[in-house]
Structure 1
């Protein structure tokens, strides 16, 4: 197990380096820069600003300097907000995104898994068809469309729910449903198909032949193996929810990481784009590693080869 974890961490470091290099190259390949002013800026002022932040140096030098600062935990200053650093944005936005993501994750788990189990147990009946129809709609409709419909229905027409911020428990309802809609639908469909496959195995028929109740067959024998594919996709799902949805946070004016990232893209704030990308990638890789390690707790038959 230890050798496997060390090997995976080494692979993650290589992948992280490639992500940083690719993001850095793509940002500098886009015409313009963080100090490009549509109204015009004098060459002297522009040169002074670029010299202050080291943007007048060759790209390889800038990249090496960025890596050196990153190794010390410094994600750099913001080019658009004087006196602010990327670390400040992440420190302010991460708790907000994590809180929203945690509530959304609870909503996703409490909704998707029971939906999938019920659909599998009622296979080809009206309950199954209804739940899978709802899940199909949730998978195919983008989150920003769901958010727009929810805002129109519950804020503009009914005027019962707020549409911005996280000031009260009511403020969580619309962004949680909009952000978790796809995950609920996808995990419900995956849970259904996985449980149906497990329920057709020989050991399930043997358990039934021994006289076990259907409840015992499902809970003690089928669910553990059926949960393995769900856990596989749960790692990236958890990472995405806890780090915030860029679109949803922007629509509902939630000051999380996604909100800062969208603003940084529109304002060409290079360091903020890099910092959020690095933070999200590192968190995603950590969650995937955690899921791989968690496999052995769910199914002891799974062994890791270093």
Structure 2
């Protein structure tokens, strides 16, 4: 009948080859695996470079850790014997290769001063630094991003010039003050002139307040500025005008529609800032006598305790690289189109 009417009969669908029916989920899994492998390779290369630079810079900086440990009156024969026991009489390249070999086995060496293993020093001091750095990062993100968005809403279309001027002046002031100097100022203000907060140690929750302010002030100012600029861009988009026309509640409009769309750029520009915040714990811990890795690092540099200095530097570098990796993962999750291109 169909032939008589000039209509071709329906053709049965030809099944697609198996290679063309690969599920989208499997493709995304492969993309993420490639992404993580590439980032891991970069991390290993970066750590190798950091270990090499730290080792040679510390060893060639001068000073004698054995003389520092034994004192200026120790007999020369005893100093030479101790140097031989520690392997410090070997050529520098041999010391480096020996250190790398131990590092591959998970051995960071031992302190030249106390004889304690560097791994145990790190295990003892790292939790305090992680607690301080983690809380500071969380506070910075919670304060800076909403603050930048709120100021963007208030100053949109050239409104409230005084607010814009004040915001720029205050954030510029915090950006111009180094963390170390701000920490000293906080000690003078709240430890001497108005003693209401602890200025040393980590014995209570109150002892976290001043170190976190010193660590997070500059980072909060920078990320708030970035958030304001990106917030103004997002608020000017057509989809935001459409959302306004629907008379949505302001909290839904700004924190559900505007905030997610500005996070990608804010995290991209602010990721390195957060890594720098962790690095700044070294000086801040010294000011507040905080029993963390930063305090240990400064003390070890003064004592020429090479293995502790290099070991702590490796841990700091690993923390910063992991933070950058986490930011990359968050960016890839927030903007999958960019992730597919860059992965």
Query: 1:70 maps to which residue?
Result: 103
Tell me if structure 2 keeps the 8 A contact 1:143–1:182: yes
Tell me the distance in 1 between the aligned counterparts of 2:93 and 2:236: 58
Of 197-206 and 238-247, the range deviating more from structure 2 = 238-247
> In structure 1, which of residues 15, 38, 48 is the aligned counterpart of residue 46 of structure 2?
15
CA shift at 1:299, angstroms?
Answer: 2.2
Unaligned runs of 5+ in 1: none
Query: 2:183 maps to which residue?
Result: 147
Unaligned runs of 5+ in 2: 1-31
Tell me if structure 2 keeps the 8 A contact 1:116–1:188: yes
Residues 199-230 of structure 1: per-residue CA shift (max 9 Å, x gap): 22333334334554554332233211211122
Are 1:184 and 2:220 an aligned pair? Answer: yes
Q: How high is the TM-score relative to the length of structure 1?
A: 0.91
Tell me the distance in 2 between the aligned counterparts of 1:20 and 1:245: 20
> In structure 2, which of residues 164, 168, 173 is the aligned counterpart of residue 128 of structure 1?
164
CA 1:107/1:219 → structure 2, altered by over 3 Å: closer, same or farther?
A: closer
CA shift at 1:279, angstroms?
Answer: 0.9
Tell me if structure 2 keeps the 8 A contact 1:144–1:248: yes
* Structure with greater Cα Rg: 2
Tell me if structure 2 keeps the 8 A contact 1:34–1:79: yes
Are 1:164 and 2:200 an aligned pair? Answer: yes
Within 5 Å, which residues of 2 pair with 1:1-306? Answer: 1-37=32-68, 39=72, 41-82=74-115, 84-123=116-155, 124-125=159-160, 126-209=162-245, 211-212=247-248, 214-241=250-277, 245-304=281-340, 305-306=342-343
How much is the aligned-residue C-alpha RMSD, in angstroms? 2.1
Tell me the distance in 2 between the aligned counterparts of 1:231 and 1:156: 38
Residues 163-202 of structure 1: per-residue CA shift (max 9 Å, x gap): 1011122212211111111111111111111111222233
Residues 83-125 of structure 1: per-residue CA shift (max 9 Å, x gap): x121121111111111222332232223212221121111152
Q: How high is the TM-score relative to the length of structure 2?
A: 0.82
Tell me if structure 2 keeps the 8 A contact 1:155–1:163: yes
Q: Give the number of the structure with larger relative contact order, counting CA–CA contacts within 8 Å between residues 6 or more apart.
A: 1
The alignment partner of 1:48 has SS state of: helix
